[in-house]
Amino acid sequence: MFGTDGIRGRAYRDVTPRIAARIGAAVVATFGCERVVLGHDPRSSAGDLIDGLLRGLGGTQVDLLGVAPTPAVAFLSATDEVPGIVVSASHNLYQDNGVKIFGPGGRKLSDGEQEAVAAALEAAADPRASRAVGVDASGRLEAYLDAVAATVRPGALEGMRLVVDGANGATSLPAPALLRRLGASVRTVACAPNGRNINDGCGAASPGMIAGETRPGEIGLAFDGDGDRVVAYDRRLIDGDHIIALCGIDRHERGRLAGSTIVVTVMSNIGLHRSMAEAGIDVVTTPVGDRHVLSALEAGGWELGGEQSGHVIFRDLATTGDGLLTAVQLLDVAARRGERPGDLAAAAMTRYPQVLRNVATGRGATDVLEAIEPAVRKAREELGERGRVLVRASGTEPLIRVMVEAPSEAEAASTAQSLAAEVARRAG
C-alpha cells in the first residue's frame, strides 16, 4: 500500500473515497489524535477523497487548508504537533491521486509508523461514525510563507528576474507571491490550475517547459504538483544534485555545514560525489526517497540532503523537502555571492552523462532483478571506475528503473539500452 512517498494510484480505481475513509480511520487509530491539518493539490478528484477522509476521521477536528503545498501542511503539522494529511499524487498527472501522511511534528512516517498505519488500514471496517468537523484554515498558509521568507534577509531577491512554472499545481499562487515579496520580478507559466492540467507537460518532472520559457537574463524555477521539489534553469538545467552541491559548498565555506556532510540517494550523479570529495565534504548515500534521506540526516545530526529530482531538505529550516524553501535558498546563495545560479551550479559539480530507462514489469520485480543480475554485474565490470550502473524497482510505479552514468552520452545510452532490453525480456 505504501510507496516511497505515501499512498498513490489511479483515482477512483486504486485510491477511492472508501479507501480514503479507511485511511482517515487508520490515522486516528495510529496516532489517537483529536485534530489534524489537511491540504490538497488542485487535481479534480481531491474533493471526493477529502470527503472520504472526513468520514474516516470521525469526530476529529480537521483544519482544512484548501489547496496548499505539501511542505505547508508539514509546517503546520510541526507547529501544532498534530498529524498532517495531504491529498496529492505529487508529480503524476491528474488521473492519479494519493494520500501523504505526516506524523505529529510534521515528520515523514517512520517504517514502524507506516506499518502501524497499514495494519490499522487492513483491520479497519468501513467507518460508520459521524463525519469529522472541518474548519476553514486556509488563512494559515500565510504563517508558512512568513516562515520561508524569514530564512533570508528582507529584499534578498531584489533585482532578480524570475519565471515560475507552478506545474498548474499547489504552488501556482503562493510561489510567485512570496518571490515578489522578497523583491524579485516574477513572470509565470503553468500557474493556472483547472483540476486536469496538473503536471501536464510542465513542472519539475518536465523541465523542457522551463528551459523553453526562460528568457535571457531570467532564472527559471519549476515546481512539481504538490510543491515539495523544484528544479531551476539558468542557461542550463540545475537539478537537485546541483542545488545540494552549491548550497553544500556555500555552507561549508561559511562554516555552517553540520558535520561537513551531505546526504543523497543512490540516484545522485557520480559527479556530485567527486566534487564533494574535492571540496572536503563527506557524502552519505541512502535508498531512493526523501524519507530515507531525512532519516539519515536525523541519525547523523546533519542538515542538508536530498534527491536529484529536486527534493532538497534543509533540516535546520524545515521538517521535510520543500520546493519553495529550496528555491529561496538557491537564489539567496546567488544573490549573496553576486553570481548567476547557472555559473554556481557549473562550478559546484561536473555532471557525468546519465541515461535513465523505465521498463514496465509484467512479473514480480524481485524475480526480474535476480534474473538480470549477471548482466548488471557485467556492465559494472566494463565501466569500472569510469561510471556507474543502478537497476532498481520503482517505489511508486510498476516499473524497473535502469540508470547508467558514463564518460560519454553514447556509452551511457548504449549500456542503458542493453540492460533495459534484458529487463524487458525477463519481465515479459
- The arithmetic mean of pLDDT across residues 214-226, rounded, is 98
Amino acid found at 125: A
Mean pLDDT of the chain: 94
Lowest mean pLDDT among 124-133, 238-247, 293-302, 412-421: 124-133
Q: 323 in helix, strand or coil?
A: helix
Q: Are residues 220 and 296 in the same domain?
A: no
**What band does 130 get if pLDDT is binned at 50, 70 and 90?**
confident
The DSSP call for residue 146 is H
The pLDDT value recorded for residue 389 is: 95
- The arithmetic mean of pLDDT across residues 195-206, rounded, is 98
**What band does 149 get if pLDDT is binned at 50, 70 and 90?**
very high
H-type alpha helices, 124-254? 141-149, 174-181, 208-213, 240-253
**What band does 138 get if pLDDT is binned at 50, 70 and 90?**
very high
The pLDDT value recorded for residue 151 is: 99
Domains of the chain: total:
4
| Chosen domain end from 210, 236, 262 | 236
Residue numbers of the domain that contains 306: 238-321+328-348
Q: 393 in helix, strand or coil?
A: strand
| Residue 29: burial class (beta carbons within 10 Å; 0-12, 13-18, 19+) | middle
- Of 367 and 283, more confident: 283
Instruction: Please identify which of the residues 45, 77, 88, 90 carries the catalytic annotation.
Output: 90
**119 in a domain, yes or no?**
yes
Q: Are residues 79 and 14 in the same domain?
A: yes
**What band does 342 get if pLDDT is binned at 50, 70 and 90?**
very high
Q: Are residues 174 and 215 in the same domain?
A: yes
Cell numbers representing residue 428 in the block: 515479459
**261 in a domain, yes or no?**
yes
The pLDDT value recorded for residue 129 is: 62
The edge-to-edge listing of strands for the beta sheet with 237-238 is 185-189, 161-165, 219-223, 230-233, 237-238
- The arithmetic mean of pLDDT across residues 269-298, rounded, is 94
Q: Are residues 14 and 130 in the same domain?
A: yes
Catalytic status, residue 185: no
4: pLDDT strictly greater than 60:
no
Amino acid found at 67: V
**What band does 396 get if pLDDT is binned at 50, 70 and 90?**
confident
Closest CA to 145 of 169, 181, 170: 181
H-type alpha helices, 156-306? 174-181, 208-213, 240-253, 270-279, 290-300
Residue 241 β-bridge partners? none
**What band does 120 get if pLDDT is binned at 50, 70 and 90?**
confident
Closest CA to 426 of 333, 361, 339, 349: 361
- The arithmetic mean of pLDDT across residues 296-301, rounded, is 97
- The arithmetic mean of pLDDT across residues 43-69, rounded, is 96
Question: Cell numbers 513572470 correspond to what residue?
Answer: 187
**What band does 3 get if pLDDT is binned at 50, 70 and 90?**
low
**What band does 417 get if pLDDT is binned at 50, 70 and 90?**
very high
**135 in a domain, yes or no?**
yes
Q: Are residues 136 and 204 in the same domain?
A: no
pTM over 0.85: yes
The edge-to-edge listing of strands for the beta sheet with 261-265 is 282-286, 261-265, 304-306, 312-314
Q: Are residues 148 and 115 in the same domain?
A: no
- The arithmetic mean of pLDDT across residues 367-384, rounded, is 93
The pLDDT value recorded for residue 95 is: 98
127: pLDDT strictly greater than 80:
no
Spatial distance between the Cα atoms of 51 and 171, rounded to a whole number of angstroms: 23
**1 in a domain, yes or no?**
no
Q: Tens digit of pLDDT for each residue in 154-192? A: 999 999 999 999 999 999 999 999 999 999 999 999 999
Query: What CATH number did the domain enclosing 317 receive?
Result: 3.40.120.10
The pLDDT value recorded for residue 397 is: 78
The pLDDT value recorded for residue 59 is: 86
64: pLDDT strictly greater than 60:
yes
- Given a contact cutoff of 8 angstroms between Cβ atoms, the answer to whether 56 and 20 are in contact is yes
Q: Are residues 193 and 109 in the same domain?
A: no
- The arithmetic mean of pLDDT across residues 40-58, rounded, is 96
Q: Are residues 31 and 126 in the same domain?
A: yes
363: pLDDT strictly greater than 70:
no
**31 in a domain, yes or no?**
yes
| Residue 284: burial class (beta carbons within 10 Å; 0-12, 13-18, 19+) | middle
Spatial distance between the Cα atoms of 409 and 399, rounded to a whole number of angstroms: 23
List the end-to-end C-alpha distance of the chain, in Å, as a whole number. 24
68: pLDDT strictly greater than 80:
yes
**What band does 282 get if pLDDT is binned at 50, 70 and 90?**
very high
